[in-house]
Amino acid sequence: MNRAKGGGWEFLEVTGRPGYTWSCGSGCTGHGCACYLKGVCWAQRIVKRLGHICPLCPNFKPHVHDGTQGTPNRLSEPRYLKKPAVITPMSTGDLFCLPYNDVLKILDIIRVASWHIFAIFTKMPRVARQFNPYPENVWFMITVNGQGDVWRLDRLEKIKAPIRGAIFEPLYGPVRYDLSWLDWIIIGPQTKPILQPDKAWVQGIIDNAPGVPVFMKSTLAGDPKMRRGPQILEAWYE
């Protein structure tokens, strides 16, 4: 696993735990992904350079890194990291684009490595629902890029996980939705090329989420005083 530093990954360390990305798999179908459709998917750009490590990564087809088909075997990595951490699985893809049995393998590791917190991010809550309930050490986050994605928030309400949140990154437009029931919100811009959201869109999300911890990524332009760390989350694991 790799330490997650810079580039807006600071949110993984707000609870005082070190943050890591876990490359248990890679790839995405791109279904409904605004970044993929715009040709600015950073994950796809990264894995194109990883052919020397995994022969399946450059084509971005969803696959698991379990040691088969020439892939590296990384499924057990969290078990060997003894210090409690916040781990993001499959940061270069979408976990729920993988075949059903491969998702089960990864969730089994998450259950076994119960001393870690696993922050799962997805654009496919419809698929994710079939794996309910999630382990107690999961933060479940869905991605929303604009008003056209609020259906994912509707589906998120049906996900059975102890912490549920939304990441508005990249934020491409205003979002009109009651966000007060979420446990956590992250807001960020598009990167490479950088595209900052309108400040009014950001403020609108905050206004629609009274009392909800909001984390503003360091790559987001604006007043840093608007950043509010999610201290509430750590209480769930004390």
Q: Which residue has the tokens 């496919």?
A: 124
Q: Would you give per-residue pLDDT tens digits along the chain (238 residues)?
A: 888 876 566 666 677 888 999 999 999 887 677 776 666 676 777 777 877 889 999 988 999 999 999 999 999 999 999 999 999 999 889 999 999 999 999 999 999 999 999 999 999 999 999 999 999 999 999 999 999 999 999 999 999 999 999 999 899 999 999 999 999 899 988 887 888 999 899 989 999 999 888 888 878 876 544 455 444 434 333 3
Phi-psi domain of 70 (left: phi exceeds 0; alpha: psi -120 through 50; beta: other):
left
Q: What is the token pair recorded at 234?
A: 């750590």
How many whole angstroms separate alpha carbon 36 and alpha carbon 22?
21
Residue 136, both tokens = 């107690």
Burial code (b: 16+ CB inside 10 Å, e: under 16) for 34-55 equals bbbeeebbebbeebeebeeebe
Spatial distance between the Cα atoms of 62 and 78, rounded to a whole number of angstroms: 21
**Rounded Cα–Cα distance for residues 197 and 75 (Å):** 36
What are the structural domain ranges in the chain? 2-235
How far is residue 2's CA from residue 5's CA, in Å, rounded to a whole number?
Answer: 9
Give the pLDDT confidence score for residue 230 in this predicted structure: 46
Give the 3-state DSSP-derived string for the chain, with helices as H, strands as E and coil as C: CEECCCCCHHHHHCCCCCEEEECCEEECCCCCCHHHHHCCCHHHHHHCCCCCCCCCHHHCCCEECECCCCCCECCCHHHHCCCCCEEEECCCECHHHCCHHHHHHHHHHHHHCCCCEEEEEECCHHHHHHHCCCCCCEEEEEECCCHHHCHHHHHHCCCCCCEEEEEECCCCCCCCCCCCCCCEEEECCECCCCECCCHHHHHHHHHCCCCCCEEECCCCCCCHHHCCCCHHHHHCCC
Structural tokens at position 155: 């589906």
